[in-house]
Structure 1
Amino acid sequence: MMVQRILVLDGSPAGESACGMAACVQVEGDKLSVLDAKVVAGKQAAEGINLLAKAVLQKVGWGAGTDTQPDLVAVVVGPGSFTGLRASCAVAAGFALGAGCSLVGVTRAEALAPALDQELQQHPECKGWLMITPARRGRVFVEDAQQVRAVMIASWHQPEGKWLVAGNACKDLSFSHAIYSGLCSPTPEQIACAALKRQQGVIPPRDPLPLYVDPPEAKLPAQGLRAKPV
């Protein structure tokens, strides 16, 4: 089915950048247009991203009570806020189920990759790009074209060579040689574009689930869980 209408959700930003974003994107050939978008700052905004989604859908006349449904729901799966990712991915799954459409997840760097690659062409001396975003407990998330990881700021060992560095925590890590990009957070169009590429098989598949970089903090007891009461 040809995708013409995309609901975009992003609750991934963490720390001081925490926010929730919902947008309705229209697809016309190769052109993506934002019909309406709402961004609200704060952790609570990410947790209440369902209200933002409802507001933008009502504004453009899509969704419940109308004859027009989104053809695709695109959600940013991370890296980022644990609570924001859980909330936004759950809300995205609910809206996709209600609309009877596909659900696609993308990472922040996957959405920004085309813009980062284009900027990288202007700096052939750079070995590649790094997307750096806030994490908890004195750490940041570092994402490149292949992987994402969490690193301690205090024990950071910079990679060799010159790099193009982006993201709203890029100044938290020290680099002896770096080109700093102004790119920080993906736009609704960039998220929608990455989601379309994933749906079309242009980029590898990824489950639309929260991308938890760190292992779970809670562990099962060594002897396992207690048996259910009889």
Structure 2
Amino acid sequence: MKLLVLDGALARCSAAAFVDGVLVAEEVAEGARRQPVDLPPMAQRVARALAGLDAVAVVVGPGGFTGLRAAIALAEGLALGAGARLVGVTTGEALAAALPEELRAGRAVWSVVDTRRGRLVLERLAPGAWQAEAPPEPMAVEDLPLPEGPVAMVGDAAEAAAEALLARGADALLTEARLPLAAAAGRVALERLAGHIPMRDATPLYVEPPAVRRPA
């Protein structure tokens, strides 16, 4: 199985290549809104580690409109050109997969992404789970529900969310997983391709519409 994975959901972009479940190449570039420029050549370089292509995976959000569209459009084109399967991975799933397995086994994972409009988007995974429990939920930080048990906080709004939950007495552990990585997203994609969890397509999860205005 030759798998190429792309991510541009938040303030970085990355690409990774797997052969039979083993990571063989990876590139990462930091910075917001650079995905349309950085991701295509990065994917081309990483794909050189693959002799052929069986599947393409892409992080589908929640995240920024520009980064998601750039990554998904590129993944769709590469999959179509190679006759490969296309697999979607959510931002929360990718972030959770980057955590140590022993941590995930004992805590639910809450992924919290900043909408840049004074709100956040919450995505929840049960302890040890590879896939999100339900669609992402937009809300204000003060409206975060109290978790039923210990949680590990991930995402670019994790610090504010963890602080709010801790102030209310929750067992909320702030982790270093703030931005997704293609290498971690690939672990989720491999679980989907193996049939261990349900498949997901590459439909973007914007949650809220892009902040654009019609011209006057």
After alignment, is 163-172 or 70-79 more displaced? 163-172
| Alpha-carbon distance in 2 for matches of 1:19, 1:136 | 16
More contact order relative to length (CA 8 Å, sep ≥ 6): 2
User: Following TM superposition, by how much is the alpha carbon of 1:87 offset from its aligned partner in structure 2, in angstroms?
Assistant: 1.0
| Alpha-carbon distance in 1 for matches of 2:33, 2:104 | 35
| Alpha-carbon distance in 2 for matches of 1:141, 1:116 | 23
| Alpha-carbon distance in 2 for matches of 1:163, 1:57 | 36
| Alpha-carbon distance in 2 for matches of 1:136, 1:194 | 27
| Alpha-carbon distance in 2 for matches of 1:160, 1:22 | 33
Aligned counterpart, 1:96? 79
| Alpha-carbon distance in 2 for matches of 1:203, 1:96 | 21
Aligned counterpart, 2:42? 52
Structure 2 residue ranges without an equivalent (≥5)? 126-132
Matched, 1:144 2:124: yes
Matched, 1:22 2:22: no
Identity over the aligned pairs, expressed in percent?
35
Matched, 1:171 2:152: no
CA contact (8 A) 2:96 2:104 kept: no
Aligned counterpart, 2:103? 119
Aligned counterpart, 1:209? 203
Aligned counterpart, 2:114? 134
Aligned counterpart, 1:221? none
| Alpha-carbon distance in 1 for matches of 2:103, 2:117 | 31
TM-score by length of 2: 0.78
Structure 1 residue ranges without an equivalent (≥5)? 63-67, 219-230
Structure 2 counterpart of 1:20, which letter? C
CA contact (8 A) 2:14 2:27 kept: yes
User: Following TM superposition, by how much is the alpha carbon of 1:216 offset from its aligned partner in structure 2, in angstroms?
Assistant: 7.0
Aligned counterpart, 2:188? 194
Which residues of 2 match residues 218-229 of structure 1 at below 5 A?
none
Q: How many residues align?
A: 196
After alignment, is 133-142 or 108-117 more displaced? 108-117
Structure 2 counterpart of 1:172, which letter? A
Q: Residues 75 and 138 of structure 1: is their aligned pair in 2 closer, same or farther, counting only changes over 3 Å?
A: same
SS in 2 for 1:43: coil
Pairwise CA RMSD: 2.5
**Residue by residue, what CA displacement relative to the aligned partner does 1:74-102 show, whole Å, maximum 9, x if unpaired?**
10011111111111001000011111111
Aligned counterpart, 2:143? 156
SS in 2 for 1:93: helix
CA contact (8 A) 1:20 1:47 kept: no
